[in-house]
């Protein structure tokens, strides 16, 4: 039974130009989950913010050079102006609406491989709609699993501990609070077929409930401190930390970690070799550092998403073999 959200407020956003609405709000490389849905010009997204369940709808009301985005916010009860103001700031942060891409565009416009990609996706920025806690759950669900299994595990968690929200004539799942999951035992979690990850969920959730990790405080910490703090969490290793540093904490300069499956894809993309005989990680990093100096994460991200947009329209033979559904 879904929770109906009757109240609706609107917030207008004017992101820095250039701003590509669709490529910022939809990342085809991400696995699908039932807390959001995208179609050109619109993204629905649920959110648990400061203990309040929200139904968001992002709509493109501008152009790349004259950006304007309208966000409708549905809720159970009327929202206070202070709350709205806080939410607005949080969305600006998570969706990187204040990011100035011009130095990046200027520096890399003449790169023969990246240049055309930058033209195609001008104004696109990295984006993670998750809180740190939620992202950690996703990262753990991704570990050592095929995409389909990851999707199933996250859905099982939504169904057991999250909410179902009805707004704008649609229905979506929403995340749970750490406090809610803290009531679940490891055995109970295992029944959701998450396997050994149950222990990681319990320990990570505990760390949040007990205040050992604080997202807002970490945002202003040094990258070393962020890395150390994340690695201290049980079930969180270098691969998860790499994703979190870039997606949640917006550390886009360095490629902190390249996992084997990414290594294969990069080898094909940047050295045009058979992914089954990949180029050493060090060689990849050296190339990124030389060509994209200071913007490694951003630049590689553009080429990565460009590939997955292509795949959305037509299968990319060599890539299909590397993505286990």
Partner DNA sequence: CATCAGGGCCCTG
Partner DNA sequence: CAGGGCCCTGAT
What CA–CA distance (Å, rounded) separates 107 from 104?
A: 5
Min dist. Cβ of residue 95 to DNA (A): 19
* Residue among 116 and 237 whose Cβ is closer to DNA: 237
DSSP 58: E
Min dist. Cβ of residue 202 to DNA (A): 12
- Binding residues for DNA, rule: CB under 7 A, are 29-31, 139, 142-149, 152, 190, 193-197, 199, 233-241, 259-261, 322-325
DSSP 61-127: -S-SSS--EEEEEEESSPPPHHHHHHHHHHHHHHTTTT---HHHHHHHTT-TTHHHHHHHTTT----
* Residue among 44 and 135 whose Cβ is closer to DNA: 135
Min dist. Cβ of residue 42 to DNA (A): 23
* Residue among 98 and 320 whose Cβ is closer to DNA: 320
Q: State the CB neighbour count (10 A cutoff) for residue 216.
A: 8
* Residue among 145 and 254 whose Cβ is closer to DNA: 145
Alpha helices (H) in the chain, listed in sequence order: 21-25, 81-94, 102-108, 114-120, 132-142, 147-161, 178-181, 186-190, 197-209, 215-219, 223-231, 238-247, 260-271, 281-292, 296-313, 317-320
User: Are 21 and 41 within 8 A, CB to CB?
Assistant: yes
Min dist. Cβ of residue 149 to DNA (A): 5
Min dist. Cβ of residue 306 to DNA (A): 16
* Residue among 120 and 324 whose Cβ is closer to DNA: 324
Q: Rounded to the nearest 10 degrees, how much is the dihedral formed by the CA atoms of 277, 282, 283, 287?
A: 130
* Residue among 144 and 185 whose Cβ is closer to DNA: 144
* Residue among 221 and 323 whose Cβ is closer to DNA: 323
Min dist. Cβ of residue 230 to DNA (A): 9
Q: Residue 304: name the closest of 263, 276, 249, 275 by CA.
A: 263
Q: Residue 94: name the closest of 135, 40, 138 by CA.
A: 135
Min dist. Cβ of residue 200 to DNA (A): 7
């Amino acid at each position: 039974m879904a929770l109906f959200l009757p109240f609706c407020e609107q917030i207008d956003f004017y992101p820095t130009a250039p701003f590509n609405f669709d490529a910022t709000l939809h990342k085809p490389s991400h696995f699908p989950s039932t807390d959001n849905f995208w179609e050109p010009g619109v993204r629905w997204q649920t959110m648990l913010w400061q203990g309040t369940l929200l139904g968001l709808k992002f709509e493109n009301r501008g152009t790349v050079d004259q950006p304007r985005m309208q966000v409708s916010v549905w809720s159970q009860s009327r929202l206070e102006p202070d709350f709205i103001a806080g939410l607005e700031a949080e969305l600006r942060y998570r969706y990187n609406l204040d990011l100035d891409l011009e130095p990046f565009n200027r520096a890399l416009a003449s790169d023969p491989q990246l240049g055309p990609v930058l033209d195609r996706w001008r104004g696109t920025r990295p984006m993670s709609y998750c809180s740190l806690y939620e992202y950690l759950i996703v990262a753990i669900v991704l570990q050592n699993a095929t995409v389909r299994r990851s999707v199933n595990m996250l859905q099982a968690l939504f169904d057991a501990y999250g909410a179902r929200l009805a707004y704008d004539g649609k229905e979506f799942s929403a995340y749970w609070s750490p406090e809610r999951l803290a009531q679940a035992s490891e055995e109970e979690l295992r029944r959701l077929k998450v396997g050994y990850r149950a222990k990681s969920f319990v320990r990570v959730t505990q760390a949040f409930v007990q205040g050992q990790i604080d997202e807002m405080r970490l945002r202003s910490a040094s990258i070393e401190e962020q890395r150390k703090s994340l690695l201290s969490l049980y079930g969180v290793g270098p691969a998860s930390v790499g994703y979190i540093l870039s997606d949640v904490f917006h550390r886009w300069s360095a490629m902190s970690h390249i996992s084997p499956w990414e290594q294969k894809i990069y080898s094909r993309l940047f050295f045009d070799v058979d992914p089954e005989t990949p180029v050493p990680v060090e060689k990849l990093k050296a190339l990124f550092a030389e060509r994209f100096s200071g913007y490694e994460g951003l630049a590689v991200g553009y080429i990565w998403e460009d590939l997955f947009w292509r795949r959305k329209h037509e299968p990319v033979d060599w890539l299909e073999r590397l993505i286990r559904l």
